Structure 1
Amino acid sequence: MPKKELIKKLAELAVKVGANVQKDQVVVIRTSTETKALAREIAEQAYLAGAKRVHVQWNDEYVSHQTLLHASLEELQNVPKYLVDQYQYFVDRGACFISIASPIPGLNKDVDSNKSQKSGIAMQKAVSFFREFLMGNKSQWTIVSEPNKVWAKQVFPELDEDKAVEKLWDAILNASRVTEKNDPILEWKEHNAILLAHNQVLNNYNFKQLHFKNSLGTDLVVELVKNHVWAGGGETAANGAYFNPNIPTEENFTMPYKWGTRGKVFATKPLNYQGKLIDKFWLEFKDGKVIDFYAEKENEALTNLLDTDEGSRYIGEIALISHDSPISNTDILFLNTLFDENASCHMALGRAYPMNIKNGVNLEMSELVKHGYNNSMVHSDFMFGSEDMEIIGLTQDGKEVQVFSKGNFVI
């Protein structure tokens, strides 16, 4: 385990830069029993930053696994009222949320995918107001990570457990820009400035569409909504607080036009979805919708993801990241979307972010949908970037612009 001082630095970063906890604000830490060290430090740092009250929502991946295995489908779809009331309590008080990711990839490989899907849908429906609260940036939210032995051993199978955990800690901290000698808060301020400058370049081009091609077979056109906004780095919540949703982050992303994606895309990294690793898969789109697909591993899980609801076969996000970038250059497959998505161009099946369209956070859902916004209960990122990715942007007046060459930004 890294020195306590480094965990403290990461916790302080999560509180001050990630969520940017405001004085007298309610803070909710969403975490698992695998992440006690970081959760405890974040709680302390949140109070030191002026939090009014810190609540911790604990989850145990193994108990959840047993529940999915043994509970009936009927019971799994029964969402207790006290859980819904708890989320409503947090939303009513304008709470900010800090999540700690510590996945156990493949844990649910023996679970009936139908049970995972149906229970997930039931929960999403029951707390849909909470999803809109977060994705609409009504308050601040962020996500950081802490390793566990199983996850670390899968990332570094050649090492024993303790060494693997130590190495994964090092990788997480470095990707999060936390070192023994640096000031992470200052470094993130500089990093945000770089990402915001790149957003401005992309916004100035105001592309109508992006065309992606590589040697794996990806040949995909993604149209963008009119008045789209490129984002990346920090964002501003409705309460005026500037925060960073993802630690780490390297992406610039925006909103696709729901019915404007066409062609075929091949994933370049596995997707950890509901404890199942979907790998070596491709999707084919027509008029924005996935019309054909296949995964060599966990095809049933991919099927269930795509069949979640009407919007889950459409995309809600397209993100650009150079192949020659900090996380990509570690050459580590993290088996965790938070990190792997920041090593590769990616897109998200499902729900879009309102902030990716001008004045979107102030629009009702019906108005957003009219603009080509995709609404869904899911938002699942998968990676398709590669070292030979070529991207051509088409401007509103029909001019072609080379955006990526050999996997990297050239604008």
Structure 2
Amino acid sequence: MNKAIIKKYANLAIRKGVNLQKGQTLLIQADVDAVEMTRACVEEAYAAGAKEVVVFYQDDMNRRQTYLHADEETLCNVREWQVHSKLDYLKEGACILHIISELPGVFKDVDAAKIAKARLAGAKANKEAQAYTMMNKTQWSIIAVPNKAWAMEVFPEFEDAENEAVEELWERILHAVHVREDNDPIAEWDEMQNNFVRRIQALNEHKFKALHFTNCLGTDLTVELVDHHIWAGGSEKTVDGVIFNPNMPTEEIFTMPKKTGVQGKVVASKPLNYNGNMINGFWMEFKDGKVVDFDAEEGKDTLSELIHFDEGSCYLGEVALVPDASPISKSGILFFNTLFDENASCHLALGDAYPMNVEGGIDMNEEELNKAGANHSMTHVDFMFGNDDMSIDGIKDDGSCVPVFRKGNFVF
């Protein structure tokens, strides 16, 4: 991909993604395959007036070797300096940009339980830092760039032509985030936000008690929503009023399920890449909000580790609506990457709920959020279940139903 278009993408990530403020520090967490994009973002950040840009690189191939050979005690030993290497900057007002370039299936031959224990230890140690993004205490955003392994997973028809596959994936990613050589991507994101605002307003005005999902795959699920829930989507706002876009791309409108209010069966419509392992052909049964049964054609052990990650990971923290007419869905491409695939399909998230999705939630403590019906967990993992014949009915307090989706798309 040429440097000019990478620079344009980087400018979008800095100006519209994290919306870096003049004099603010930027943390970048990047995969090693994203070096070129990372360098472009560092340059754009300083051009935007960054006080300092601090880059942390991670390499999943190295992590794979560590997972395979280090013992559990070592894996679960999170050192204090590792926590404070990011937390200290966040406390001083830094924002954070994640630049991902994941390797599908990189941990497929690693013990899933071992990974889960290490991830849980890391999540517990970094709970305070994680609150900065979960509670919008600062701006944060996630973008992606391709690598050869990922590109060949998405486009196996290219066979040995790895470079051509990478270029094709670049084109698909740039299209999804509205970056082209001849356009103003920031203006397009502003226009897209106007569409989000219209639908969010309509959903908030309905004040639904619950949503009922059905489709031909076998999903028959009722998701009760917390009282005084708030629908959100597109851009978000920090507690200090700075607008940012956490996911690039984004097509979702989402809110908070009531922890104990989910009943029925959900069948996934797309594979899930979780902890470097693929989960495919899976379903879950919920009773009083909790997953009580599940199965998968591929990756059942990995799915089990997700569901049993901690006390809250068997409950939902998010319900998100994405029309089948979204550009990513219409592309017909399965990205094997949740950042993209979740924006092609309605999805749910096991784990932590976003406090912003209930009135006054940002100012609530954990006990108050519990009373409001929010779920708590050290993880938050989206999985896709929408398709082109999804029907959704909004259920009002009086039991009446309002059509929300028909044939996979909004009716308003």
TM class, shorter-length: over 0.9
Matches within 5 A, 1:92-107: 92-107=91-106
Q: Is the 8 A contact 2:31 2:102 kept in 1?
A: no
Amino acid at match of 1:219: D
Amino acid at match of 1:72: D
Matches within 5 A, 1:210-229: 210-229=211-230
Q: Is the 8 A contact 1:254 1:319 kept in 2?
A: yes
**Deviation, structure 1 residue 90:** 1.7
**Deviation, structure 1 residue 365:** 1.4
Deviations 1:257-315 (A, max 9, x none): 00000000000111111000111100000000000000111100100111111110000
**Deviation, structure 1 residue 87:** 2.4
**Deviation, structure 1 residue 179:** 0.5
Deviations 1:361-403 (A, max 9, x none): 1111111111000000010000000111111111123221011
Deviations 1:310-356 (A, max 9, x none): 11000000000111111000000000000000000000000010100
Deviations 1:168-207 (A, max 9, x none): 0000000000011110011101111111111001101111
Amino acid at match of 2:204: N
What residue number does 1:45 align with? 44
What residue number does 2:111 align with? 112
Alignment partners' CA distance in 1, 2:342 and 2:179: 19
Amino acid at match of 2:132: F
Determine helix, strand or coil for the equivalent of 2:209.
strand
Amino acid at match of 1:180: E
Determine helix, strand or coil for the equivalent of 2:187.
helix
Amino acid at match of 2:35: K
Q: Is the 8 A contact 2:226 2:258 kept in 1?
A: yes
What residue number does 1:30 align with? 29
TM-score by length of 2: 0.99
What residue number does 2:321 align with? 320
Deviations 1:71-94 (A, max 9, x none): 011100001121012122122111
Matches within 5 A, 1:194-205: 194-205=195-206
Sequence identity of aligned pairs in percent?
A: 51
Amino acid at match of 1:147: P
Alignment partners' CA distance in 2, 1:58 and 1:379: 22
Q: Is the 8 A contact 1:19 1:243 kept in 2?
A: yes
Amino acid at match of 2:357: N
Alignment partners' CA distance in 2, 1:21 and 1:186: 17
Amino acid at match of 2:28: I
What residue number does 2:73 align with? 74
Determine helix, strand or coil for the equivalent of 1:312.
coil
Alignment partners' CA distance in 2, 1:292 and 1:49: 50
Deviations 1:191-226 (A, max 9, x none): 111111110011011110000001111000000000
Alignment partners' CA distance in 2, 1:240 and 1:122: 32
**Deviates most, 144-153 or 234-243:** 234-243
Determine helix, strand or coil for the equivalent of 1:201.
helix
Q: Is the 8 A contact 1:269 1:384 kept in 2?
A: yes
What residue number does 1:249 align with? 250
Alignment partners' CA distance in 2, 1:135 and 1:10: 25
Q: Is the 8 A contact 1:226 1:371 kept in 2?
A: yes
Number of residue-to-residue matches in the alignment: 410
Determine helix, strand or coil for the equivalent of 1:207.
coil
Unaligned 5+ segments in structure 1 are none
**Deviates most, 232-241 or 170-179:** 232-241
Unaligned 5+ segments in structure 2 are none
Determine helix, strand or coil for the equivalent of 2:54.
strand
Alignment partners' CA distance in 1, 2:133 and 2:77: 23
Query: Is residue 79 of structure 2 the alignment partner of residue 83 of structure 1?
Result: no
Amino acid at match of 1:189: D
Q: Is the 8 A contact 1:389 1:404 kept in 2?
A: yes
Matches within 5 A, 1:164-243: 164-243=165-244
Q: CA RMSD in A?
A: 0.7
Q: Is the 8 A contact 1:87 1:127 kept in 2?
A: no
TM-score by length of 1: 0.99
